[in-house]
Amino acid sequence: MTASDPRRQAANREAVRRMSAARPVLVEVLPAGDVVPGMTGSTILTSGPPLPWPEYHGGQRHAILSAAVYEGLAKTLDGADAALGSGAITLAATHDHGCVGSVAGIYTASMPVFVVEDPDTGVRGFCNMYEGESRKRLNYGVFDDDVRAGLDFLRDDLAPVLADAVRRLGGVPLTPLISRALRMGDELHSRNTAATTLFLKHITPALLDMAAAGAAPAARTAFDFLAQSDYSFLRLSMAASKVSADCARDVAYSSVVTAMSISCREFGIRVSGTGDVWHRGSLPDVDCQLFEGFTPEDIEWMGGESHITETTGLGGFAQAAAFPLQHYQGGDAAAMVEMNTRMYDITVAEHPEYLIPYLGFRGSPVGIDVFRVLDTGIQPVIDGGLAGRGGGQIGAGILRAPMDCFTAAAEGWTRRYGD
């Protein structure tokens, strides 16, 4: 068959239908080890198409080693290195366990995760929690006593309150919050200001009830932590997007992208019709806006999968909903509209729930078709944060998914379905 075969077109429509039909609900907050499929006490998950342990370097390697120490799987970084080399610690890819990673994307068994589920299909996705606004965060390759204390706080203070609130509410449907946030200046990747505020509003009645039941200090502490950052919702947006993307997995003949992922060495994509194979390529191109005092030479790739949002019609694919981002990531409103609009040329459909007010409430472009990317030469755009050498976020910008991944994906698709 050819790339324009009607079977491929029909498969793509079906894949995007499934992706757009998902209605992810936050159903629980639990330790990863209790709920993530295949996660053992000695498993560490990290972002990116998986690599042999010796291939991980820089911030991502340091984050993985530190995670082993944090989890008590090793006493020292050297001990962790040995255990990772021998396989005593299992290192695996987040995406293979229903998870998505922010930057290095580190998961250990004790870390709490948001459990998000599509009720119709039962598909589940998971994401761990935002460490807060400090430049020092494990997922940006930094580990010290402050980072450890922050992770302990998420586990011991924040997660139990959120778990209680979610139980009291009987789950939190995320699609209405996301749809609404798109009308309030968010694109749900680099901007989650509205979604975070709406989520807080949604859980406040439960927090008030908990306060009445004697848990006021804990409820207040959790509220204050979530309220002080506008990014708290990103992890929910990522988990919801992972659920949506996974709903579109394994549609035979489909050339729709179901995951885009970065490690310290590569960009990789998965395509619905080629299953869980990673089609690998070079690191992304980037137009960046760095924080004061940094230069492009300071950028370090240490992984990243938050562009699961772009995979499902959010982030860069909805940036015309989020003009306030222009200061943060550079560019102006007209450029954002143009970038957003070009994404319709490489996608299969318009999302029925993700509407962009500026575009007359047109649905966001959803379902990246590998062959359309190659035919048009238009790279998917990604609103991304940028990590710096030595750890921490040093800026933000527009990343462009590298063309070689799409070439590799087309070859993989053609090997499977013939040309």
Residues in contact with its own copies by CB under 8 A are 183-185, 193-194, 197-198, 200-201, 204-205, 207-209, 211-212, 216-217, 219-220, 223-224, 227, 323-324, 326-327, 332-333, 357-361
Report the residue number, 262 or 396, with the smaller CB distance to its own copies: 396
Report the residue number, 174 or 262, with the smaller CB distance to its own copies: 174
Report the residue number, 71 or 383, with the smaller CB distance to its own copies: 383
Write down the least CB distance from residue 358 to its own copies, Å.
5
Write down the least CB distance from residue 124 to its own copies, Å.
29
Report the residue number, 176 or 217, with the smaller CB distance to its own copies: 217
Instruction: Please count the CA atoms within 13 angstroms of the CA of 405 that sit on its side-chain side.
Output: 32
Closest CA to 162 of 115, 198, 122: 115
Write down the least CB distance from residue 329 to its own copies, Å.
13
Q: How far apart are CA 53 and CA 104, in angstroms?
A: 14
Write down the least CB distance from residue 367 to its own copies, Å.
25
Report the residue number, 224 or 292, with the smaller CB distance to its own copies: 224
CB neighbours of 72 closer than 8 A, spacing ≥ 6? none
Write down the least CB distance from residue 190 to its own copies, Å.
14
Are the C-beta atoms of 367 and 260 separated by less than 8 Å?
A: no
Report the residue number, 362 or 416, with the smaller CB distance to its own copies: 362
Report the residue number, 21 or 200, with the smaller CB distance to its own copies: 200
- Residue 343 DSSP label: G
Concatenating the DSSP letter of every residue in 374-399 gives HHH-PPPEEEEEEEBTTSSEEEEEEE
Write down the least CB distance from residue 357 to its own copies, Å.
4
Write down the least CB distance from residue 311 to its own copies, Å.
25
Report the residue number, 82 or 227, with the smaller CB distance to its own copies: 227
Write down the least CB distance from residue 384 to its own copies, Å.
20
Q: In what helix (H) or strand (E) does residue 54 lie, and over which residues does it extend?
A: none
Q: How far apart are CA 111 and CA 19, in angstroms?
A: 28
Write down the least CB distance from residue 359 to its own copies, Å.
8
Q: How far apart are CA 22 and CA 224, in angstroms?
A: 31
- Residue 89 DSSP label: S
Report the residue number, 130 or 413, with the smaller CB distance to its own copies: 130
CB neighbours of 256 closer than 8 A, spacing ≥ 6? 11, 12, 15, 16, 19, 248, 271, 272, 273, 348, 367, 368, 369, 370
**Cα-trace Rg, the chain:** 20
Concatenating the DSSP letter of every residue in 244-311 gives HHHHTTT-TT--BEEEEEE-SS-EEEEEGGGTT--EEEPPPEEEEEE-TT--GGGB----B-TTHHHH
Sheet of strand 381-387: strand arrangement: 285-290, 393-400, 381-387
Chain-centroid distance of CA 176 in Å reads 19
Alpha-carbon distances, residue 285 vs 14, 288, 330, 379, 386 (angstroms): 31, 10, 15, 10, 12
Write down the least CB distance from residue 152 to its own copies, Å.
23
Report the residue number, 238 or 325, with the smaller CB distance to its own copies: 325
- The full length of the chain comes to 419
Strand 43-46 and strand 90-93: the pairing is parallel
